[in-house]
Amino acid sequence: VINFNPGPAGLPLPALERARDELIDFQGSGMSVMEHSHRGKEYEAVHDETISLLTELLGIPDTHQVLFLTGGASQQFAQVPMNFLHPGTSADYLMTGVWSEKAYDEARIVGQARIAATTVGPDKRYVRVPGQGELQLDPRAAYVHLTSNNTLYGTQWHTWPEVGSVPLIADMSSDFMWKPTDVSRFAFLYAGAQKNLGPSGVLIAVARKDFIAQGRRDIPKIFRYSLHAENNSLYNTPPTLAIYLCRNVLAWMKEQGGLAGMEARNRQKGELLYRSLDANAGFYRAPVERESRSFMNVVFHLPTPELDATFVAEAKKAGMVGLKGHRISGGIRASLYNAVSVDDVRALVSFLEEFARKKG
């Protein structure tokens, strides 16, 4: 099947085939990678290779460090303020969708947070990200938090906001490594692996070392980023199998030309699909404003909810799954993460053009 699921999402076949071949007997050790001790040399090599592939592909500078964490991005919504929202300070949140709302709600449980910008519409939906002129930033904020790609509404930041000397934090769960990113702009960024990078179960963070070193000490040790950094993400048992699978996907990404290769492929995919939607705008409606369109999650609607449902059912018969929109936004959502190929999108485009001809 062609998998357009919003996450967990499809993984590149070579990464899965490699896992299949190594699952029972990892490099002649007579056991699976997941049966090895996380302190043994076999797993250690996988752990280190995953970090070095991330460092190489993202160009992570010495000032920053990779962390493997658990609990998903949802846990980071709480853990970020627990670490960085020092008593007496306040954090700024840029609201662009459901995930930023959830992050903001958690921060308010921990301490003081304010909305520095929101693009919520009168219907409570979001169809764009804010422009620089709309940001009302507090120059003394503990940090600014944004969601780089809004999985549910299909909007994406294409230019990072200028936040002065305030540390910038990003939830990049649904567009991590979709293209080259200047990680030095971020004091802390995090992403669940299950969309662009691997299976669920591991979260990857890239943290500025001096920033996490100043994190709060009055929280339980297990929640301190500095503790995980000091222990190279081996303070407790990491999700070894998930990290191993990320290693395989990263190796595949490197073979595909790294992040420049990913960007070329992802732009081609997004342009193919949006061009076709625009050409059939009498039938399909893509609600997101052009400059905020996401290259990862393409959201569109047919003339009626009944036609949306028929579209999803017929696409499934044609071997394309995961196209049903989120229950909040409705319609159709095609998620075009790294593992989706240009040919997969071509197949979707010919299906949707044919569908419009038949039903339009």
The amino acid at 39: R
Q: Which residue has the tokens 């179960």?
A: 201
3-class SS letters over 35-59 = HCCCCCHHHHHHHHHHHHHHHHHHC
Q: Which of 3, 65, 156, 173 binds ligand PLP (CB under 6 A)?
A: 173
Site membership for ligand PLP, residue 151 (CB under 6 A): yes
Residue of 8, 72, 261, 330 interacting with ligand PLP (CB under 6 A): 72
Figure out which of the listed residues 15, 33, 57, 73 binds ligand PLP, where binding follows CB under 6 A. 73
- Is 256 annotated as a binding-site member? no
Size of the site for ligand PLP (CB under 6 A): 11
- State which of residues 81, 130, 192, 258 lies at the interface with ligand PLP (CB under 6 A): 192
The answer to whether 74 contacts ligand PLP (rule: CB under 6 A) is yes
DSSP, collapsed to helix, strand or coil, labels residue 261 as helix
> Based on CB atoms, which residue is closest to ligand PLP, 79 or 226?
79
Q: Which of 195, 252, 269, 344 is catalytic?
A: 195
Q: Check if 195 is active-site.
A: yes
CA distance 245 to 253: 12
Residue 20 tokens read as 């299949």
Contact 226, 80 (CB under 8 A): no
Per CB under 6 A, the segment of 39-47, 170-178, 304-312, 325-333 that binds ligand PLP is 170-178
Is 178 a known active-site residue?
A: no
- List CB contacts of 271: < 8 A, sequence separation 6 or more: none
Distances (CA, A) of 54 to 20, 31, 58, 286, 346: 23, 26, 6, 34, 30
Contact region with ligand PLP (CB under 6 A), list: 71-79, 119-127, 279-287, 310-318: 71-79
Q: Which residue is nearest to ligand PLP (CB)?
A: 72
Q: Are 190 and 211 in contact (CB under 8 A)?
A: no
CA gap 272, 270 in Å, rounded:
5
Least distance (Å) from ligand PLP to the CB of residue 326? 9
Bind-site residues for L-glutamate = 39
Q: What residues make contact with ligand PLP under the rule CB under 6 A?
A: 7, 72-74, 99, 147, 151, 171, 173-174, 192
